[in-house]
Amino acid sequence: MKIGFIGLGIMGKPMAKNLLKAGYEIVAYDVMKDNLDDVTKAGAIPAASSKAVAEECKIIITMLPNSPHVKTVVLGENGVLEGAKEGTILVDMSSIAPLASQEICKACAEKGVKMIDAPVSGGEPKAIDGTLSIMAGGDKTVFDEVYDILMVMGASAVHCGDIGAGNTTKLANQVIVALNIAAVSEAFMLSTKAGVDPIKVFDAIKGGLAGSTVMNAKVPMITEGNFKPGFKIDLHIKDLSNALDTGHGVGAPLPLTSLVMEMLQTLHADGHGQDDHSGIAMYYEKLAGTEIRK
Ligand code: NAD
């Protein structure tokens, strides 16, 4: 079966490669030639535009940075809707605003194109392993049609509700991850300043109630001072911005999210936008004048 794949960055690249390994034919497109070349070398067929991908494929996956990129790729000039036939399924796996998913889905429906939103959690390592957690929204029958394809890229795929529900779930995920990294950074700065080795602290508490997937993934990066992305600070700013807009829209106050958003904005202003979000530790390091290192 031929699947279109648009957006071959940190996440899209390994996801497309896993589909190739599973025996699917991939027609790929990215505005960045290097990213397209990389996936072409792995066996994908390169296309000249999103429209060209849609002309070739009945199922199209998008993995793009944010709402405006998905709107450009799907609704814009030389976009998916210019090339898609009636009955085409669009699986948008980008993390975008739930309202944007609903708008794009409506425009797709007018052309007879079916869409689900299916963002992911797990980052690059799980994208490479094909063990992402996938959270989806939209028509359940469409979700069921693409379930086997999703399970090539993920260890789980849960249908969370109507279109946009996948991205609402992803926003909840991103709030928890950002606040967890901030809590870990604050706590590890406390123990560092008090003179206790951060590795000992990690070993002592990781199996207890404070332990978390975030702690296991990010403490080794923080104690190495390795902030190579992973998940970029600028992308987390995008997610918290979408969370705050959505929260304000539905009347859910998000005081802790606002606070961590300002930490991320400070890091961005300091030139760390392209660093991994474990770099929230650098915010604390600047405040305290000490590095959290083993
Ligand atoms: P990325 O910036 O590495 O990749 C995005 C890709 O989209 C790039 O290759 C870019 O060239 C391409 N692109 C942008 N505009 C385009 C257009 N108009 N046409 C074609 N291609 C275009 O980002 P990423 O880290 O792969 O993240 C993608 C999405 O997945 C984001 O929404 C992000 O929030 C989400 N996500 C990322 C991670 C992570 O750890 N990196 C984890 C979970 C979810």
> pLDDT tens-digit profile of 9-55?
999 999 999 999 999 999 999 999 999 999 999 999 999 999 999 99
∠ CA 72-103-29, nearest 5°, is 30
CB of residue 101 inside a 6 A radius of ligand 1: no
CB of residue 11 inside a 6 A radius of ligand 1: yes
Nearest CA residue ID for atom 38, ligand 1: 123
Nearest CA residue ID for atom 3, ligand 1: 9
Beta pairing partners, 2 = 25
CB of residue 120 inside a 6 A radius of ligand 1: yes
CB of residue 79 inside a 6 A radius of ligand 1: no
Predicted confidence at residue 159, as pLDDT, reads 98
Distance 30 CA to ligand 1 centre (A): 10
Distance 96 CA to ligand 1 centre (A): 11
Predicted confidence at residue 285, as pLDDT, reads 98
In terms of residues, how long is the chain?
294
Distance 93 CA to ligand 1 centre (A): 10
Nearest CA residue ID for atom 12, ligand 1: 7
Decide if 126 is catalytic: no
pLDDT-flagged residues of the chain (< 70): none
Predicted confidence at residue 294, as pLDDT, reads 81
Atom index in ligand 1 nearest the CA of residue 96 equals: 32
Domains of the chain (ranges; CATH) run 2-163 (3.40.50.720), 168-288 (1.10.1040.10)
CB of residue 13 inside a 6 A radius of ligand 1: no
CB of residue 49 inside a 6 A radius of ligand 1: no
To the question of pTM greater than 0.85 for the whole model, the response is: yes
Question: What is the residue-wise DSSP string for the chain?
Answer: -EEEEE--STTHHHHHHHHHHTT-EEEEE-SSHHHHHHHHHTTPEE-SSHHHHHHH-SEEEE--SSHHHHHHHHHSTT-HHHHPPTT-EEEE-S---HHHHHHHHHHHHHTT-EEEE--EESHHHHHHHT-EEEEEES-HHHHHHHHHHHHHHEEEEEEEESTTHHHHHHHHHHHHHHHHHHHHHHHHHHHHHTT--HHHHHHHHTTSTT--HHHHHHHHHHHHT----SSBHHHHHHHHHHHHHHHHHHT---HHHHHHHHHHHHHHHTT-TTSBGGGHHHHHHHHHT-----
Among residues 13, 17, 51, 170, the one annotated as catalytic is 170
**CB-CB contact of 54 with 81 (8 Å):** yes
CB of residue 125 inside a 6 A radius of ligand 1: no
Of 152, 110, 111, nearest to 132 (Cα)? Answer: 152
State how far the Cα of 87 lies from the Cα of 114, in Å rounded to an integer: 7
Question: How deeply is 106 buried, as exposed, middle or buried, from its count of CB atoms within 10 A (0-12, 13-18, 19+)?
Answer: exposed
